């Protein structure tokens, strides 16, 4: 066997070995991939961990501002009306309340955006919605809802995703007394809404 034949044979062996190693590594990776059950379990672990972080955050913030209720509402699109328009809703997904205060999360209903359009429109535009005295609210349906919940003062702040789209809002309620938040604490609430945006993002 001359040198050229030897080099050709060696090159063929190396190529075959590389190919076989490639198949072996690929099969090993495929076999190590998560099963649907494991993936679902991992996602559940991520979600429950995020939930815990959010509840701790809301509880600490509520206590810091001496509020009676701290919460997150998220927007969603359900079914469609016969006209073809989406039924846009907002639902309380996280909440921390003080002792003796009723919880919003126990409310099985979802609020339709169309019924509270002026109220939601301001936050969709990126503005906070603040009522130091709910009795002075000019929005009839909203006023009725807040009075029914026993709210005296309300502070809501839009939560935006990384694309600057409003996906919900963070809020604190004062039920036991009227309360005027200082400007610095209102700024803190706005920063809190930004931080909550990161908490709500779930990695795949």
Secondary structure element (H or E) that encloses residue 69, with its range = strand 69-80
pLDDT digits (tens, 9 = 90+) for 145-155: 999 889 999 99
Q: In the predicted model, what is the mean pLDDT of residues 157-167?
A: 90
Model-level pTM? 0.74
pLDDT digits (tens, 9 = 90+) for 42-53: 677 777 788 888
pLDDT digits (tens, 9 = 90+) for 60-75: 999 999 999 999 999 8
Phi, psi of 198 (to 5 degrees): -70, -35
158 closest CA partner among 192, 132, 183: 192
């Amino acid at each position: 066997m001359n040198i050229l034949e030897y080099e050709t044979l060696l090159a063929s062996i190396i190529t075959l070995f590389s190919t076989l190693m490639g198949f072996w590594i690929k099969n090993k990776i495929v076999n190590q991939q998560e099963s649907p059950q494991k993936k679902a379990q991992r996602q559940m672990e991520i979600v429950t961990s995020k939930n815990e972080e959010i509840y701790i955050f809301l509880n600490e913030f509520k206590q810091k501002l001496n509020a009676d209720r701290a919460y997150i509402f998220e927007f969603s699109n359900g079914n469609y009306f016969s006209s073809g328009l989406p039924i846009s809703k907002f639902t309380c997904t996280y909440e921390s309340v003080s002792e003796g205060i009723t919880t919003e999360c126990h409310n099985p209903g979802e609020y339709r955006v169309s019924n509270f359009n002026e109220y939601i429109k301001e936050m969709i535009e990126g503005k906070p919605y603040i009522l130091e005295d709910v009795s002075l609210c000019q929005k009839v349906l909203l006023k009725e809802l807040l009075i029914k919940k026993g709210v005296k003062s309300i502070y809501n702040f839009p939560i935006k995703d990384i694309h600057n789209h409003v996906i919900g809002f963070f809020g604190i309620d004062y039920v036991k007394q009227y309360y005027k938040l200082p400007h610095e604490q209102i700024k803190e609430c706005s920063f809190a809404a930004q931080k909550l945006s990161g908490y709500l993002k779930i990695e795949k």
